[in-house]
Amino acid sequence: MQLRRDLAAGKPAAFTVDGPRGPARVAQAGAVFLAGATGQPILPFHIESSAAWTMNSWDHTQVPKPYARIGVAIGAPIVVTDTSETTIEAKRVELERALAELEIKSRVLIT
């Protein structure tokens, strides 16, 4: 509830959208619902590193190594106009596709 109040007040927030348990790279509906409920757009982005330590976790979290090149790709804002199930699912799929494209773009940036 606090995150919803903060977003409604115009405070920025950043978090992973594949949820705390995954599956990895599958956007969950929570961020999309928050965007629709607060009127704040989703700004998809992906960060990639040329060299990183990879955690032994379900999502393989990475920590960039010193002197690694970092690629940051930022997509167009995704506006969610309401919180109907149809809208939430359509925007969730749009977000997931945008993130997949940004992952490819950020990898190109570090090569």
Task: Give Cα separations from 24 to 18, 63, 66, 86 (angstroms).
Answer: 6, 16, 25, 23
| Per-position pLDDT tens, the chain of length 111 | 788 898 888 888 888 888 777 888 999 999 999 999 999 999 999 999 999 999 998 888 899 999 999 999 999 999 999 999 999 999 999 999 999 999 999 999 998
- 3-state SS class at 46: strand
Looking at residue 24, its amino acid is A
Kindly report the pTM of this predicted structure.
0.89
Q: What ranges do the domains of the chain cover?
A: 2-109
- 3-state SS class at 28: coil
Rounded distance between C-alpha atoms, residue 109 and residue 101, angstroms:
13
